[in-house]
Amino acid sequence: MGKISLEDLRPGMILAGEVKERSGRVLLCAGVEITEKHLDIFKKWGITEADIQGVTQEDVTPQLDPAVLQQAEMEAQELFRHTDRQHLAVIELLRLTTLRLAQYESGGQGS
Amino acid sequence: MIRDPGHLLNGTVEVPSLPMIFTRINDAVNDPRSSIADIGGIISEDAGLTARLLKIVNSTLYSFPSKIETITRAVTIVGAQQLRDLALATSVMKVFTGMSEDLVNMESFWHHSIGCGITARILAAYRREPNVERFFAAGMLHDIGRLLIYIKMADQARAALLRCHSSGELLYKVELDEFGFDHAAVGGALLQLWKLPASLEEVVTSHHNPRGAHRYPVETAVIHVADIITHAMRLGNSGERSVPPLDAQAWDRIGVPPSYLSETVGQVERQFRAAITMIVPDTRK
């Protein structure tokens, strides 16, 4: 089980933990199967991630050529060299930047 | 040594001024006696601005259920202050048209500004801020001091850019070191000269030093973070070549979980191109 970002959640996934909105109110309980409607509700309520049974974020991240990914990782590290790369937000932004660069390199979407 | 950039606002080279129409819109919005029709009437005098604003309020940025056909209706639905801030955000590019592109690629500069504005708007919406357009305008304006530096002290600016190029230092720190002030201070001084609200001025002045913002710390923190995200996404460029450092306190202040960054980046990606076609005046056709 692991935290999966909203964009990677799919109908049919089973919750491993409660989904709470920001004030702490429980929207869905563990064990519930996610439906399309739930995803809409998550978006509207600002839910950004959920605990899913049997899946980790690595599983749902699209597979990219390791060489391309490594090149992208190097470029991203260079771009972030003045930042504190231990900070949780920086780590996440660095991960997203690496993915974007790699997708762009693989001819995917991106700008 | 820290110096006051005030002298950049004087001198023989003229400092660009905001379009007259914006000042009139601003006065009308701030005047409790003016009606929605008054504000709509002033905006309608500028056909270009009217078309731009209608395009924006009818875009995916808002996704209202029905089409907004008139400016008066837009003022009613979107709000007078919001429309004023949108007018500011979309008018400021015009102020600097015809500028020498020796030191800066203007298209890239405005792409960075629009990217930061869109990102700030998304973060503000997440925080349920009442006027997200204020954040959009702040993002559009945050690096504007650079343009004044390029106009007023081109040689020194070139030297600073070259130094960054070879040393890999951060440009805003080199500015501080070489000139005694950075583009953020210059931008703040320019907004003050333009008589823009103190909130915008403080946000622009402190966007690299969010701890220095005492009156509008949240607004400043949002622009600080939005600027960093825009750099990470490499949407345009205003001179800085790497991602500026994140102030941990500013990050905590905006209250956005790191896991929301992926949603933010996705939304920025979706809105960025649309925003550019709506805001950048079509000069090439």
Q: What is the pLDDT of residue A8?
A: 86
Confidence of residue B284 (pLDDT cuts 50, 70, 90): very low
What pLDDT digit, counting tens, does each position of B77-89 carry?
A: 999 999 999 999 9
Q: What is the pLDDT of residue A60?
A: 75
Please tell me the distance in Å from B169's CA to the nearest CA on chain A: 8
Residues 6+ apart with CB under 8 A from B69: B54
Is any Cβ of chain B less than 8 angstroms from the Cβ of A96?
yes
> Inter-chain contact B259–A83, Cβ cutoff 8 Å?
no
Q: Where are the domains of chain A?
A: 2-56, 66-105
What is the chain A residue with the closest CA to B266? A7
The arrangement of secondary structure in A2-56, i.e. its CATH architecture, is Alpha-Beta Complex (3.90)
What pLDDT digit, counting tens, does each position of B193-213 carry?
A: 999 999 999 999 999 999 999
> Inter-chain contact A96–B262, Cβ cutoff 8 Å?
yes
What pLDDT digit, counting tens, does each position of B40-90 carry?
A: 999 999 999 999 999 999 988 887 889 999 999 999 999 999 999 999 998
Better-predicted residue by pLDDT, B122 or B11: B122
Residues on chain B touching A7 (C-beta within 8 angstroms) = 262-263, 266
> In the 3-class helix/strand/coil scheme, how is chain B assigned residue by residue?
CCCCHHHHHCCCCCCCCCCHHHHHHHHHHHCCCCCHHHHHHHHHCCHHHHHHHHHHHCCCCCCCCCCCCCHHHHHHHHCHHHHHHHHHHHHHHHHCCCCCCCCCCHHHHHHHHHHHHHHHHHHHHHCCCCCHHHHHHHHHHCCHHHHHHHHHCHHHHHHHHHHHHHHCCCHHHHHHHHHCCCHHHHHHHHHHHCCCCHHHHHHHHCCCCHHHCCCCHHHHHHHHHHHHHHHHCCCCCCCCCCCCCCCHHHHHHHCCCCCHHHHHHHHHHHHHHHHHHHHCCCCCC
> Inter-chain contact A6–B235, Cβ cutoff 8 Å?
no
> Inter-chain contact B259–A46, Cβ cutoff 8 Å?
no
Q: What is the pLDDT of residue B278?
A: 86
Single pTM value for the model = 0.85
Better-predicted residue by pLDDT, B230 or B9: B230
Q: Quote the percentage of chain A above a pLDDT of 90.
A: 49
What is the chain B residue with the closest CA to A7? B263
CA pair distance B213, B138, nearest whole angstrom: 14
Confidence of residue A1 (pLDDT cuts 50, 70, 90): low
Is any Cβ of chain A less than 8 angstroms from the Cβ of B167?
no
Give the burial string for B119-145 (b: 16+ CB within 10 Å, else e).
Answer: bbbbbbebeebebbbbbbbbbbbbbbb
Q: What is the pLDDT of residue B251?
A: 98
> Inter-chain contact B242–A6, Cβ cutoff 8 Å?
no
Calculate the average pLDDT of chain A.
Answer: 87
Segment B180-195 shows an average pLDDT of 95
Give the ipTM: 0.89
> Inter-chain contact B245–A78, Cβ cutoff 8 Å?
no
CA pair distance B240, B190, nearest whole angstrom: 20
> Inter-chain contact A6–B232, Cβ cutoff 8 Å?
no
Q: Where are the domains of chain B?
A: 11-94, 96-285
- CB contacts under 8 A, A 63-82 vs B, are 78-82
Calculate the average pLDDT of chain B.
Answer: 93
Topology adopted by domain B96-285? Hypothetical protein af1432 (1.10.3210)
**pLDDT over 60 (residue B283):** no
